[in-house]
Amino acid sequence: MQISGPILWSTTSILGAYTVGTLAFVGRRVGEADRAGAAAGLRASLGLALVLGAGAAVGGVALIDALHQVLFSGAGPAVHASSRAYLEVALPAVVPYLVSFTASLALQAAGDTRRPFLVAALGNVLNVPLTLALVFGLGPAPELGSRGAALATSASLVLQSVVLLGLLARREGRLTWRGRGGERDALRRMLRVASASVGERVLQHAGYLSYVAMIGTLGATAMAANQALLSSESVVFLSADGFGIATAAVVAQRLGAGRRHAASVALRAGAGLAAASLGAVGVAFVLGPDLLLGLFTSSREVRDVAGPCLVVAAVAAPVLGAAVVHADALRGAGATRAALAVTFFGGVVVRVGATALLVFGLALGLLGAWLASTADWALRLLCFARIAAGTRWRKRRV
């Protein structure tokens, strides 16, 4: 999972960069009470999701072995085989992932966060027991290992896509995909907003994959410890994304209604809520590191390596949360070039450079990598806060 996870996340994140335009465009149209325009943006986004997902399904599977050799040549044939078994199923599932993600984000941009949450919960009702059955061969199910985990997740994504598209087929409410006309203009405007975000995601994940590859040189124990840490910290990333999407939706709607000062207030409120909430999560990291890491690994050696890093993650949690909210709010306002510049300096220059220095130059191992990651997020927050303090970002047209 330390191999296939970053590959899959980078793929979906880069391909999903167009949804920055979806969030900004649909949110603005909702704020303007332009229901037909919002529907056109949704239809264009869903069509693009199908095209990009199909490309990932075909091209991604063909490049699995090359990615293994370039990024993780020292992992060994058994690990490569398990990763391939997972990715051969997970990469084609990028199609339903992008469709469900687009539909959820569009609903959130329209101010509806409840139904996407319920649909995601429904997906987990299927995913969790099906994963257990297919990974370990429980009951009549075959024991498929990593491939079984990918099959269960894929089934969950298909279910979520079908339910969300069904909800959006209704003509009543703020948002629907029904109707015709305006898709080409909507797509052009969304891609104009999202173009810088595509470059941002490419840079961010080039830096991230370099970061993960450097961790890979530290050996199997460090890789296992890093995966346990990422699993533990997933509540931070996912919560930060939740605060970020909610803030970006409110910012886009208020800018669409011409309420620029209210958009700034929403950004500050969202960043404050994220920092406070994730600061509390950080306290839990410090109070119970061994218990938390024990959920993801039974190895004492792995937990000993991961423990000090979890303390660093606790300090980073509120900083990461506030930085993500600022970045998403600026993207929701259409200020994607500013986010691109900050990501380049933080995610590439600082993260990769500091990781090389701390991991290898100062021989701090995995702890050095997590210190470098924290430095990256701290720099991003300072830069985003400075941009948000100005007024230019509120004047972007979408």
State residue 172's pLDDT score: 81
Mean local confidence (pLDDT), 220-225: 89
CB atoms within 10 A of CB 234: 10
Domain termination site, one of 174, 192, 210: 192
Poorest-confidence range of 29-33, 138-142, 194-198, 252-256?
Answer: 194-198
Does 259 map to a domain?
A: yes
* Residues 78, 178 within the same domain: yes
User: Quick check: 336 pLDDT over 90?
Assistant: no
| Position 131 confidence tier, pLDDT thresholds 50, 70, 90 | very high
- Angle made by CA atoms 211, 217, 223, in degrees to the nearest 5: 75
| Position 151 confidence tier, pLDDT thresholds 50, 70, 90 | very high
* Residues 141, 288 within the same domain: no
State residue 178's pLDDT score: 93
Q: What is the mean pLDDT of the chain?
A: 91
Does 86 map to a domain?
A: yes
* Residues 186, 330 within the same domain: no
Does 130 map to a domain?
A: yes
* Residues 156, 252 within the same domain: no
State residue 48's pLDDT score: 96
Evaluated on CA atoms 117, 119, 125, 127, the torsion sign reads negative
Domain termination site, one of 141, 176, 192: 192
Does 311 map to a domain?
A: yes
Does 201 map to a domain?
A: no
DSSP class of 177: S
* Residues 231, 187 within the same domain: no
Q: How far apart are CA 256 and CA 237, in angstroms?
A: 28
Overall residue count recorded for the chain in this entry: 398
Total structural domains within the chain: 2
* Percentage, residues of the chain above pLDDT 70: 100
Phi and psi for 324 in degrees, rounded to 5? Answer: -65, -40
* Residues 136, 268 within the same domain: no
Q: Residue 65 burial (CB < 10 Å; 0-12/13-18/19+)?
A: exposed
* Residues 242, 161 within the same domain: no
Which residues neighbour 30 within 8 Å (Cβ) at sequence distance 6 or greater? 38, 109, 110, 111, 174, 175, 252, 253, 256
* Residues 45, 187 within the same domain: yes
Does 207 map to a domain?
A: no
* Residues 129, 235 within the same domain: no
> What confidence tens digit (pLDDT) does each residue in 262-288 have?
999 999 999 999 999 999 999 999 998
User: Quick check: 322 pLDDT over 90?
Assistant: yes
Mean local confidence (pLDDT), 15-29: 91
* Residues 161, 247 within the same domain: no
* Residues 395, 296 within the same domain: yes
Residue 185's H or E segment, with its range, is helix 183-216
| Position 6 confidence tier, pLDDT thresholds 50, 70, 90 | confident
* Residues 32, 124 within the same domain: yes
Mean local confidence (pLDDT), 198-206: 84
Mean local confidence (pLDDT), 11-18: 89
User: Quick check: 101 pLDDT over 80?
Assistant: yes
Which range marks the domain in which residue 312 is found?
Answer: 218-398
- Angle made by CA atoms 237, 120, 321, in degrees to the nearest 5: 15
Q: How far apart are CA 96 and CA 86, in angstroms?
A: 16
User: Quick check: 1 pLDDT over 80?
Assistant: no
User: Quick check: 111 pLDDT over 80?
Assistant: yes
Does 35 map to a domain?
A: yes
Does 210 map to a domain?
A: no
| Position 205 confidence tier, pLDDT thresholds 50, 70, 90 | confident
* Whole-structure pTM value: 0.78
User: Quick check: 195 pLDDT over 90?
Assistant: no
